Amino acid sequence: MPMPSTAPIPQNSRDFELLCMEVLRRFWSLPSLDLYAKSGEEQNGVDILDLGGGSPLHAAQCKLKAADKSLLPSEIEAEVEKAKTFELRIGKYAILTTGKVSGQSQRKILEINQLHKSLGLFEVELFTWERLSRLLQAYPEIFEQFFGNGLTPNRAVRS
């Protein structure tokens, strides 16, 4: 059964974080990715972290936005600045959002990556909802886990 070109956006931050974790586990081939810290704890811009001890260290931030909104360049910059204060050295950092892609956001990612490369800092990757939806088409088992046949979000079980 073909999936819709765009998956339905999760209704809350927790469901979105769980979905992002599963997609990144597959995309990055890192089964040891897990949600980082508990609600209310200081996270320094990190919602998802690779606990496998590999190098480079992979981390991610999830930003639930309205479907018609884009992640602003200033929001990207703010999350990257927080991630720089993370207690461990990050090598790859993803920002995942339910928002739309924008040229301004893409240029900000490029600008940050060029600067970070010259300074020996982490690479930043942007996953908009459109990109996440394409990945969900590539990973139908994750789509099924979260949306099932009726396209109703299911709670994922942390593993």
For the segment 43-88, what is each residue's pLDDT rounded down to a tens digit? 999 999 999 999 999 999 999 998 889 999 999 999 999 999 999 9
Region at 14 (left for phi over 0; alpha for psi -120 to 50; beta for the rest): alpha
For the segment 2-53, what is each residue's pLDDT rounded down to a tens digit? 445 567 899 899 999 999 999 999 999 999 999 999 877 889 999 999 999 9
Burial class (CB in 10 A: 0-12, 13-18, 19+), 38: exposed
Q: How many angstroms from the chain centroid is the CA of residue 50?
A: 13
List the beta bridge partners of residue 61. 95
Sign of CA dihedral 30, 91, 75, 6: negative
